[in-house]
Amino acid sequence: MNWVTRSVYSLWGVLAWMSFAVAALFALLATLLVPGKARRQKLAGLASRAVFVMPRVKVNVIGMENLPPGDCVVVANHASYVDGPLLKGYLPGRFNFVIKGELRDIPIAHFLLRRSGAKFVERAEHYGSARDARVIVKAAQGGASLAFFPEGTFRKHPGVGRFRPGAFVAAVRGGLPVVPVAISGTREMLPSGRHLPWPVPLTIQILPAISPGDPDFTDNRTLAEAARQRILGVLDEPDLLHEPRGADDAATN
């Protein structure tokens, strides 16, 4: 890439961060002032979509018809910090995002996310804290639509890693369909270690749901691997569980 292109991309990245700041301020005011969880969720979704609309990012959503009309659990691959705002902006507002518990330590982010319907789980233990796990399972059993990044983290290099069981335990106990979602382009837009995003088209591919009657809907481990393989089937990325471990394969968030 020559210096002219790099300069243009850097300028776009600054404008993109400015768009994010405006959208975040709107979302913060909405969560502070607007009554009603459903209204706040809708406004947070609009603010998240504005993050991509204002800098004119092309977002292609494929398979929206695969989302069940009722409650379900969405699971997506995780490649960048961009993934969360992207799904929040383009999935229906009814989804409650399940987010790493470390964000509880950032007061403004925690307040905004909690008021927007997000739920938090600790990553330190294999299943997260017992309290958090009970909250997520109870939400699923109560008929809540949940969205997870079950890898729990993302890496600098392409690939899909192991899926943690929390999303799938919640789906099995709640009897909710699992909808695999493949996200493409976000790693190129804002990879680990780069501070400015670059203008890259993004794709959200919503795959057919794995329903409770499906042969793969037996236990959380079988269900997790089935969802992971379906995502890998449409992504041009390696399966990190079957790749040699590299020196640069460490988690980054």
Cβ density class 17-41: b for 16+ within 10 Å, e for less: eebbeebbeebbebbeebeeeeebb
Cα–Cα dist 7/155, whole Å: 26
- pLDDT at residue 248, rounded to an integer: 44
Q: What percent of the chain has pLDDT over 70?
A: 80
Greater model confidence, 3 or 85: 85
Type and span of the H or E element at 202: strand 202-206
Greater model confidence, 244 or 199: 199
- pLDDT at residue 169, rounded to an integer: 87
Type and span of the H or E element at 227: helix 220-232
Mean pLDDT over each residue of the chain, to the nearest integer:
85
- pLDDT at residue 33, rounded to an integer: 85
Answer yes or no: is 113 within a domain.
Answer: yes
Residue 198: pLDDT band with limits 50, 70, 90: very high
Q: Tell me: the pLDDT tens digits for 222-246?
A: 999 999 999 999 998 999 987 655 5
Answer yes or no: is 44 within a domain.
Answer: no
Answer yes or no: is 204 within a domain.
Answer: yes
The answer to whether 87 touches 76, Cβ cutoff 8 Å, is yes
Answer yes or no: is 202 within a domain.
Answer: yes
Provide the residue range defining the domain that includes 132. 57-242
Answer yes or no: is 49 within a domain.
Answer: no
pLDDT surpasses 50 at 247: no
Answer yes or no: is 15 within a domain.
Answer: no
User: What integer is the mean pLDDT of 183-196?
Assistant: 93
Cα–Cα dist 113/223, whole Å: 28
Q: What are the structure tokens assigned to 141, written together?
A: 């059993």
pLDDT surpasses 80 at 131: no
Cα–Cα dist 73/193, whole Å: 30
Answer yes or no: is 197 within a domain.
Answer: yes
- pLDDT at residue 115, rounded to an integer: 65
Cα–Cα dist 90/19, whole Å: 17
- pLDDT at residue 36, rounded to an integer: 84
What's the whole-model pTM score? 0.87
How many domains does the structure of the chain reveal?
1
Q: Tell me: the pLDDT tens digits for 14-65?
A: 999 999 999 989 988 888 888 888 888 888 899 999 999 999 999 999 999 9
Residue 99: pLDDT band with limits 50, 70, 90: confident
- pLDDT at residue 133, rounded to an integer: 62
User: What integer is the mean pLDDT of 181-202?
Assistant: 94
Q: Residue 203's domain is classified under what CATH number?
A: 3.40.1130.10
Answer yes or no: is 31 within a domain.
Answer: no
pLDDT surpasses 50 at 101: yes
Cα–Cα dist 223/209, whole Å: 11
